Amino acid sequence: MDSSTLSRIGLAGLAVMGQNLALNIAEKGFPISVYNRTTSKVDETVDRAHREGSLPLTGQYSPREFVLSLQRPRSVIILVKAGNPVDQTIAALSDHMEPGDCIIDGGNEWYENTERRIQQISNKGILYLGMGVSGGEEGARNGPSLMPGGSYQAYSNIQDILMKVAAQVEDGPCVTYIGEGGAGNFVKMVHNGIEYGDMQLISEAYDVLKHVGGLSNSELADIFAEWNSGELESFLVEITADIFKVKDDIGDGYLVDKILDKTGMKGTGKWTVQQAAELSVAAPTIAASLDCRYLSGLKEERENASAVLKEAGLNEEAGFVKSGIDKKRLIDDVRQALYASKICSYAQGMNLLRAKSDEKGWNLNLGELARIWKGGCIIRAVFLDRIKKAYQRNPNLASLIVDPEFAKEMVQRQGAWRRVVGLAISAGISTPGMCASLAYFDTYRRARLPANLVQAQRDLFGAHTYERLDRPGAFHTEWTKIARQSGTGVAALN
């Protein structure tokens, strides 16, 4: 083949994300070859490229032809289901690749799988990137947030493409080299965990406004639209406003009220919580959002429980609109509670990233990660610019909560935050995400916790020893013996 007709890059795996990313790359002027085992997928993509503006995209029908249609060093993005399909695709393509070529996995892969593949394929001299891609279908087509990790050389080979293809914000394209090994996948995983938290917190704000405040769907649409022009401006708040506007097309009322209250999930949220536990990092808001998805899945059990507890005499008042509520005040309070809860959730996610970075030596730049999430991805929000600046001010910031600006905002909002959570609790409306965030804040900010008592208990039953506030060393006390000897001990009461 004449080298001038070779494509700059290739993409294999033409499901929704793959097709859209391929068209995006072609549209930015980079000739691309596409491949999928299912030939109809190739035809479909070629057809779309033609219809969407005669884009420089070529369909290929065998792994060999596909690989040979690329300029060297070859770069191939694969977008197939995580796990085995990735290994199969790598096997099919790498047979035809040469040392210096590169495979870029754009799926939501477990970071350790990427690290294993980096090792395996390095035997053939092939480079590898695990690249988080966020933004769904729309983002892939018009500008996603990209989180490439692995071989820096491989990143350099396609940096110009990634910079053009990524979402653009005022301080640059939403892509950066994340770090070695599985760093890109890991960062994408935590992004998704944060996304779980955001969605949970928004759903709680909705629940409180609807069930405590008695707001209608059209009022909710207006409130969320209004919030989207302030500190909460974000993709998720924007789409939430839209959701409340959609009428049911096969019945009366609004569509949102007809949707079964069972949440699906694909695993990145669970991984985030597992990793937090592995690294001893508290991530209660993200964990609460995961627990809520599990509980939502028990629809039938919850219906039964509702009936049993009603039978047992549970006050019907719980869960009903409070009379005499000041709607305007409630709406303003919920906005503040949502914002403060969100700061705590991001603080957890960022600290998880920091802990993993320290463990793996990834050298993650947290401010830069916040920056590349400002556009393209699902958690994109104006607020991420503030996070970026917080880490620019102090790259070693222990927690977002103690950044001077965020600290001020948390303090300003805590009254509203406590009112919302208190009101929800007394109304029997569960707000696990907001409660987890508030408890995280209150636990983190308190110089003294009741952990002294836990240490005493551990020393009593397990001789685990304890430290003292007033002198160094490990101490052990015969708690029971002393307590029961002394006149005021437990035994003396018998």
Ligand X SMILES: *[C@@H]1O[C@H](CO)[C@@H](O)[C@H](O)[C@H]1NC(C)=O
**Which residues are at the interface with ligand X (CB under 6 A)?**
12-15, 36-38, 41, 80, 85, 89, 300-301, 304
105 phi/psi in degrees, rounded to 5: -90, 115
How distant, in Å, are the alpha carbons of 277, 296, 415, 462 from that of 299?
Answer: 28, 6, 34, 42
Give the CA count within 13 Å in the CB-facing half-sphere of 417. Answer: 26
The residue (of 14 and 331) whose beta carbon lies closer to ligand X is 14
- Rounded to a whole number of angstroms, the minimum distance from the CB of residue 31 to ligand X is 20
- Rounded to a whole number of angstroms, the minimum distance from the CB of residue 67 to ligand X is 12
Catalytic residue among 195, 270, 356, 388: 195
Is 134 annotated as contributing to ligand binding? yes
The residue (of 38 and 457) whose beta carbon lies closer to ligand X is 38
Instruction: Tell me, yes or no, if 28 is annotated catalytic.
Output: no
- Rounded to a whole number of angstroms, the minimum distance from the CB of residue 114 to ligand X is 17
- Rounded to a whole number of angstroms, the minimum distance from the CB of residue 267 to ligand X is 18
The residue (of 14 and 330) whose beta carbon lies closer to ligand X is 14
Shortest-Cβ-distance residue relative to ligand X: 37
Is 15 annotated as contributing to ligand binding? yes
Is 14 annotated as contributing to ligand binding? yes
Is 176 annotated as contributing to ligand binding? no
Is 142 annotated as contributing to ligand binding? no
Is 81 annotated as contributing to ligand binding? yes
- Rounded to a whole number of angstroms, the minimum distance from the CB of residue 12 to ligand X is 4
CB-based contacts of 195: which residues, under 8 Å, 6+ apart?
236, 378, 379
Is 74 annotated as contributing to ligand binding? no
How many CB atoms sit inside 10 A of residue 278's CB? 12
Instruction: Tell me, yes or no, if 374 is annotated catalytic.
Output: no
The residue (of 294 and 475) whose beta carbon lies closer to ligand X is 294
Catalytic residue among 28, 41, 188, 374: 188
The residue (of 89 and 437) whose beta carbon lies closer to ligand X is 89
Known binding residues are: 13-18, 36-38, 80-82, 108, 134-136, 191-192, 196, 266, 293, 458, 464
Active centre residues (catalytic): 188, 195
Known binding residues for NADP(+) are: 13-18, 36-38, 80-82, 108
Known binding residues for substrate are: 108, 134-136, 191-192, 196, 266, 293, 458, 464
